[in-house]
Amino acid sequence: MSVEAWTWTIVILSFALYLGIGYWARVRETAGFYVAGRGVPPVANGAATAADWMSGASYISMAGLISFLGFDGAVYLMGWTGGYVLLALLLAPYLRKFGRYTVPEFIGDRYYSNLARVVAVIAAIFVSFVYAVPQVRGVGIVLSRYLGVDVATGIWAAVLVTAFIAVLGGMKGITWTQVAQYVVLITAYLIMGIALANLLTGNPIPQLAFTFSDFAVRLSELQVELGFKEYVAPFQNLSALNVFLITLTLMVGTAGLPHVIIRFYTVPKASDARWSAGWALVFIGLLYTTAPAVAVFSKYNLLNTLANKPVEEVRQIDWVQKWEQTGLLKLQDKNGDGILQMSGDPQVNEVTIDRDIIVLSTPEVAKLSPFIVGLVAAGGLAAALSTAAGLLIVIASAISHDLYTRLINPGASEATKLLIARVIIFLVVVLAAPFGINPPAFIAQLVAFAFGLAASTFFPAILLGIFDRRMNMQGAVAGMIVGLVFTASYIIGTKYLGWPNFILGITAEGIGAIGMLLNFVVAYLVSRATPPPPEEIQRLVDEIRIPKGSAGSALEH
């Protein structure tokens, strides 16, 4: 069978599985729609959390970024994995004990303020929508290359499948679909990594093949020979300050992501939140320890396949032809010598490679079997769709539960609340798809922006809400507004309005850490200059941190 036939077969079977699970897990009550009835076992929740969190950026784009950034690309490994540990140990159990459905609901109730709730809703929608766009782009990349459909058609087909699952089953349907999607994506990624490691080193374990071989050094030498920067040398692409701040932004952004936090509300009790976090870390680690090996092997293979080869000979390669058709790979014989030059000098370089295609193209570059190529494509779809589904729930619950039910129509029936949530999901899909078709940046960069916004808004408010009994409504609201406005303005200005990186050369990907610090400072100063929270709120904060038991049945819905 051809690559396309295998891909169609695997994608159709996996989509049928997802649709079947979505129909089986359909719900008729809000508890099932928002938090899966709080009945998900820790192991299953760990797998679903891993799929939810390991988005298209982790699967499709991260190894590509590492392959281009080299040592500096470690910011994504350190930031995202470190952030998950921070979330699991510092926040997750306490949020579960609070017993709410959403992050805006926690903030609204903890800070006894509808204004705080509205600010949190706006931030949740903003963060989640920015994060959803690159997932849609990842779907478009996979489908446009492997299924032979145009990007727009592929994106609409995939997001409608995801919307169907989310609309019918809500968080329950999404959770069990994400378990299946995790199995698909990790199987695909590991098989690719194992095949690649065995092909290039004779060692089938990617982590060991990478650690005990000299491929990173060989890649570094090859890059220097071609005029690129050293692969293994630090701070070649990012300054030391930016490496630190991007890592910190990704860490605290992870700990503040609404679609990840909400997963800890789906388990029966607080202790299960810790166990599911532990399982998720194991499941996440399987991919994250494989990614550096895939990055090195893929880049080495790619350079050896394309650099200094006859242009016409390269253009006869099947995968080159098909990636050129997508516009994500461009060959241009600038000097007319018939030889393809790859160089770190843009005036000399004749090959333009979108970083988002590194992982997806790797099986074909390495001449692996068509089955593995198709499986990797299906894994990319699973990674993107699982995160997109979680983000849809966050946006739908923020509007239907936190705005409509809590503020506009508190007496709404179950049927009305579910209808509102389902309508919102369809509206978000309709809005997100066009952005995915014409994205403003590549996948991992867009995701980094979302993490920066989460870091500068949610993380301080949640952390102070759990550990600072003196933090009040005025401080939390002021901090979130300052963090959100500052970070969003800097990102939009430097990336899309031509502003320079005017704060110490800090890039948009790392500015969320500065926004977070501003949030903390403003929140602390304002809270100390205004009246303390009511006594019942201060007692509640103390009860949340009690090691065992529940924070009180009154907190549960």
Closest of 369, 374, 218, 350 to residue 297, by C-alpha:
218
Using CA atoms, how far apart are residues 343 and 321, in angstroms rounded to an integer?
21
Host H or E run for residue 304: helix 291-306
User: Is 361 within a domain?
Assistant: no
- Whether 195 maps to a domain, the answer reads yes
Q: Given a cut of 80, is residue 539 above it in pLDDT?
A: yes
141 and 360 in contact (C-beta within 8 Å)? yes
Q: What is the mean pLDDT of residues 235-264?
A: 87
Burial pattern 392-411, b for ≥16 Cβ within 10 A else e, equals bbbbbbbbbbbbbbbeeeee
| Range of the structural domain that residue 468 is part of | 3-299+368-555
pLDDT band at 142 (very low <50, low <70, confident <90, very high): confident
Given this model, what pLDDT does residue 24 score? 79
524 located within any domain: yes
Residue 341 lies in a domain: no
Q: Tell me what pLDDT residue 554 has.
A: 39
Structure-token pair, residue 195: 């095949």
- Identify the three-state secondary structure at position 331: strand
Residue 340 lies in a domain: no
Cα–Cα distance list, 188 to 14, 29, 193, 253, 380 (Å): 12, 35, 9, 27, 9
CA distances to 2, 161, 179, 246, 252 from 259, rounded to whole Å, are 37, 19, 15, 21, 14
Q: Does 353 fall in a domain?
A: no
Residue 556 has what pLDDT?
44
Residues 6+ apart with CB under 8 A from 159: 136, 139, 388, 429, 432, 433, 436
Q: What is the pLDDT confidence band of residue 49, given thresholds at 50, 70 and 90?
A: confident
Phi first, then psi: what are they for 534, rounded to 5°? -60, 155
**Under 8 Å between Cβ of 433 and 136:** yes
What's the whole-model pTM score?
A: 0.82
Q: Are 161 and 11 in contact (CB under 8 A)?
A: no
* Tokens 């926004």 sit on residue: 515
Q: Decide: 254 and 55 in contact? Cβ < 8 Å.
A: no
Residue 16: how many CB atoms within 10 A of its CB?
A: 11
Q: What amino acid is encoded at 36 in this protein?
A: A
Residue 288 near residue 488, CB atoms below 8 Å = no
Specify the pLDDT at position 477: 94
SS3 329: strand
- Residue 265 in tokens: 């509300």
| % the chain with pLDDT above 90 | 22
- 151-187: buried (b, 16+ CB within 10 Å) or exposed (e) per residue? bbebbbebbebbbbbbbbbbbbbbbbbbbbbbbbbbe
Q: Rounded to whole angstroms, how far apart are CA atoms 470 and 241?
A: 33
More confident residue, 520 or 175: 520
| 310 beta partners | 339
Q: Is 471 exposed, middle or buried (0-12, 13-18, 19+ CB in 10 A)?
A: buried
Q: Is residue 276 part of a domain?
A: yes
pLDDT of 100: 67
What's the CATH number where 253 sits?
Answer: 1.20.1730.10
- Indicate whether 253 pLDDT > 60: yes
Nearest Cα to Cα of residue 139 among 163, 158, 161: 158
DSSP annotation string for 444-479 = HHHHHHHHHHHHHHHHHHHHHHHH-TT--HHHHHHH
Alpha helices in 497-555 (DSSP H): 511-529, 535-544
**Three-state SS for 340?**
coil
Q: How far apart are CA 200 and CA 214, in angstroms?
A: 11
Q: Which residue has the tokens 């032979």?
A: 148
pLDDT tens digits, one per residue of 281-292: 899 999 999 999
The share of the chain scoring above pLDDT 70, in percent, equals 91
Specify whether the CB–CB gap between 265 and 100 falls below 8 A: yes
Tokens of 438: 């014409």
DSSP-assigned letter for residue 211: H
| Mean predicted confidence (pLDDT) in 68-93 | 84
The widest CA-to-CA distance across the chain, in whole angstroms, is 78
Give the alpha-carbon dihedral of 212, 215, 216, 221, to 10 degrees: 140
Provide the 3-class DSSP secondary structure of residue 352: strand
pLDDT at 466 over 70: yes
pLDDT band at 552 (very low <50, low <70, confident <90, very high): very low
Looking at residue 534, what is its pLDDT? 94
Q: Which two tokens stand for residue 37?
A: 């009835």
Q: Could you give the number of structural domains in the chain?
A: 1
Answer whether 181's CB lies under 8 Å from 19's CB.
no
Look up residue 116 and give its DSSP letter.
Answer: H
Flag whether pLDDT at 441 surpasses 80: no
> What average pLDDT does the segment 191-213 reach?
91
- Say how far apart CA 406 and CA 399 lie, in whole Å: 10
Tokens for 295? 């990055």
CB 443 within 8 A of CB 56: yes
The Cα–Cα gap between 53 and 84 comes to 9
Is there a contact between 465 and 107 (Cβ–Cβ < 8 Å)?
A: yes
Q: What is the average per-residue pLDDT within 521-528?
A: 97
332 domain residue, yes or no: no
Confidence of residue 423 (pLDDT cuts 50, 70, 90): confident
The H or E element spanning position 351 is: strand 351-353
Alpha carbons 70 and 175: distance in angstroms, whole number: 35
Instruction: Name the average pLDDT for the chain.
Output: 83
Tokens of residue 453, six digits: 């916004």
How large is the average pLDDT for residues 143-147? 74
Distance, CA of 221 to CA of 227 (rounded, Å): 10
Residue 260 and residue 50 in contact, taking contact as beta carbons nearer than 8 Å: no
Of the candidates 439, 445, 431, 442, which has an alpha carbon nearest to the alpha carbon of residue 391? 431
